Amino acid sequence: MSKYSVPETLAVSDSGFLFLPNTGETFTLNLVGKEILNLLQDGLSEEEIVKHMLDRYDIDERSLEKDLSDFIMQLRKYSIIKEE
Amino acid sequence: MKIAVTGLNATDNPGPGVPVIRCLKESKEYDIDIIGLFYDSLDPGIYMENICAACYMIPYPSSGVNALFDRLKVIHEKEKIDVIIPTLDSELYGFVKLQGKLADLGIKTFLPTAEQLNIRSKDKLFEFCDTNQIKAPKNILAASVKDIYSISEKFEYPVVIKGIFYDAYVVNNFEEAVSAFNKIRAKWGYPIIVQEYLKGDEFNVVALGDGNGQMTGAVAMRKLYITDKGKGWAGITINDNRLIELSRKVIERINWRSGMELEFIKSAETGEYYLIEINPRFPAWTYLAPAAGQNLPLLMLKMMLGEDVKPLTSYTIGTIFVRSSWDLITDIKTFEQIASFGEIKWTK
């Protein structure tokens, strides 16, 4: 079960604007991206996020898993999260 | 109090004079009048509103320290200057040599020694970093075009070709290296520095040393927008303690006295910081520091005046500067006064 850690210093605004205080980089997340990042901040694993999102959105599991995996890969690429 | 400040060339390669003045003018403790010292009658800082009370032309560093001192004496007779803050690399050696004579006139300065200036100069930086276990890109000094031939034996292209005071070009092959070498030689002379090119993002720190090994303040910034001249045109304060501690180490080891800008590259491969340059004065983005909570030029003034100061240790993360260009309008009479007489007094 893949779990990720999010630095405590990471700042995310209500609108999804994300600021990395260590590097000065900024990113803009859409509402779903922000929701996923918030779930990661709450300590949910990738599998738990899939379950949560399937309950909330009308989407098939395979597409969701693929999109989530892509999104997490991007978050890791930019050092926004780290695999535990 | 009258404070003379140089570096009014707020151009696309901006001098730090205007931002240093803006920092000083935020003082609530002192009633400050700024005397601008300029080299070119079109330096934009002369024409900015509410920056200088009066401006005077001074001779270029190549004229020698005696010419500079003679001119400063004349200006001092008219203005009774209390403090001089030079802000340009190329003039610092002259002002350092004149420190004693200026003190005799009652003019305070807060400058490094000539030895301290030399330790951090671009041609000696690698040696300093090597001795003090600070990572820095390797370099060779080119004293003739023959040295350019040896680049490929020591480094892989691209490399950076740098002037001793200003200018740097990233070159990808021998032909580009020769062209950059010739441009820099014509403008800045020797030595010319050939430096290993590091891939990564650039980070900068503005810091202040008290001359006894203590860092009295430091603010770290990442450039958000870089011009084709390599100048930061926007930047944001960041929180990476490694940058602050590296800066502290440099100031401690040199016993640096004055403002300073440290330039780092964060290696894209390893994430480690490499010190690429130490500039011996406040940078052109200095005004970001008070905006984030550390007015370092004002702190330096307090140290100059012998006040007890406490080191500043925190600042607001995420403070941003965005530089702009702005057309200033003047008239031919004003320009004549500045160009023909080399001085102007502005009415308040």
Nearest neighbour of B240 by CB, restricted to A11, A19, A22: A22
Chain A contact for B67, CB < 8 A?
A: no
Summarize the confidence of residues B76-92 as an average pLDDT.
Answer: 97
Summarize the confidence of residues B143-157 as an average pLDDT.
Answer: 86
Question: What is the C-alpha separation between B82 and B335, in angstroms, rounded?
Answer: 27
The domain B141-196 is placed in CATH, from the list 3.30.1490, 2.40.160, 2.60.40, 3.40.1700, at: 3.30.1490
Between B188 and A44, the more confident residue is A44
- Please list every residue in chain B whose beta carbon sits closer than 8 Å to the beta carbon of residue A25: 222
**Nearest CA-CA distance, residue B216 and chain A, Å:** 22
| Whether B22 contacts B39, CB under 8 Å | no
- Please list every residue in chain A whose beta carbon sits closer than 8 Å to the beta carbon of residue B238: 21-24
The pair of three-digit structure tokens given for residue A13, joined into one six-digit string? 């605004």
Exposed/middle/buried for residue B153 (C-beta within 10 Å: 0-12, 13-18, 19+): exposed
| Whether B118 contacts B177, CB under 8 Å | no
What number of C-beta contacts closer than 8 Å exist between A and B?
Answer: 23
Binned at pLDDT 50, 70 and 90, residue B123 comes out as confident
Interior/surface letters B222-235, b for 16+ CB within 10 angstroms, e for the rest: bbbeeeeeebbbeb
State whether B238 and A23 contact (CB < 8 Å). yes
The domains of chain B are located at: 2-110+327-345, 141-196, 199-322
Report the CATH fold assignment for B2-110+327-345.
Answer: Rossmann fold (3.40.50)
State whether B236 and A24 contact (CB < 8 Å). yes
- Which CATH superfamily is B199-322 part of? ATP-grasp fold, B domain (3.30.470.20)
Question: What is the pLDDT at residue B348?
Answer: 67
Q: What is the pLDDT of residues B269-293, one digit of tens each?
A: 999 999 999 999 999 999 999 999 9
Tokens 């969701």 label which residue?
A64
In this predicted structure, the answer to whether residue B191 has a pLDDT above a threshold of 90 is: no
Chain A contact for B222, CB < 8 A?
A: yes
Long-range pairs for B182-190 at CB < 8 Å and ≥24 separation?
Answer: B182/B145, B187/B163, B188/B163, B188/B164, B189/B164, B190/B142, B190/B143, B190/B164
- The residue among B248, B253, B274, B262 whose CA lies nearest residue B195 is B274
The B2-5 sheet, strands edge to edge: B83-85, B2-5, B33-38, B54-57, B343-345
Binned at pLDDT 50, 70 and 90, residue B155 comes out as confident
In this predicted structure, the answer to whether residue A1 has a pLDDT above a threshold of 80 is: no
State whether B240 and A9 contact (CB < 8 Å). no
Chain A contact for B42, CB < 8 A?
A: no
What residues form DSSP beta bridges with B266?
B201, B273
Question: What is the pLDDT at residue B275?
Answer: 97
DSSP B182: H
Question: What is the pLDDT at residue B259?
Answer: 98
Question: What is the pLDDT at residue B280?
Answer: 96
Q: What is the pLDDT of residues A41-84, one digit of tens each?
A: 999 999 999 999 999 999 999 999 999 999 999 999 998 999 88
Between A80 and B166, the more confident residue is A80
Which conformational region is residue B114 in: left (phi greater than 0), alpha (psi within -120 to 50 degrees), or beta?
alpha
Question: What is the pLDDT at residue B197?
Answer: 92
Q: Would you call B48 helix, strand, or coil by DSSP?
A: coil
State whether B222 and A19 contact (CB < 8 Å). no
Closest residue in A to B223 (Cα) is A24
- The residue among B24, B98, B8, B116 whose CA lies nearest residue B57 is B8
State whether B239 and A21 contact (CB < 8 Å). yes
Q: What is the pLDDT of residues B25-54, one digit of tens each?
A: 999 999 999 999 999 999 999 999 999 999
Tell me which amino acid residue B336 is: E
CB count in 10 Å sphere of residue B113: 15
Closest residue in B to A78 (Cα) is B268
Q: What is the pLDDT of residues B130-148, one digit of tens each?
A: 999 999 998 888 888 888 8
Question: What is the pLDDT at residue B229?
Answer: 79
What residues form DSSP beta bridges with A11?
A19
The domain A4-83 is placed in CATH, from the list 3.30.70, 3.40.50, 1.10.1760, 1.10.10, at: 1.10.10
**Nearest CA-CA distance, residue B236 and chain A, Å:** 6
Question: What is the pLDDT at residue B47?
Answer: 97
What residues form DSSP beta bridges with B142?
B192
DSSP A14: T
Tokens 């003679």 label which residue?
B70
**Nearest CA-CA distance, residue A13 and chain B, Å:** 13
The B200-210 sheet, strands edge to edge: B273-279, B257-267, B200-210, B215-226, B232-237, B320-322
Chain A contact for B240, CB < 8 A?
A: yes
Summarize the confidence of residues B172-183 as an average pLDDT.
Answer: 92
φ/ψ of residue B18, rounded to 5 = -65, -50
Chain A contact for B26, CB < 8 A?
A: no
The pair of three-digit structure tokens given for residue B158, joined into one six-digit string? 């691209």
**Nearest CA-CA distance, residue A27 and chain B, Å:** 13
| Whether B119 contacts B254, CB under 8 Å | yes
Q: What is the secondary structure of B51-113 as a DSSP string?
A: T-SEEEE---GGG-HHHHHHHHHHHHHHH--SEEE---HHHHHHHHHHHHHHHHTT-B-----
Question: What is the pLDDT at residue B142?
Answer: 87
Binned at pLDDT 50, 70 and 90, residue B242 comes out as very high
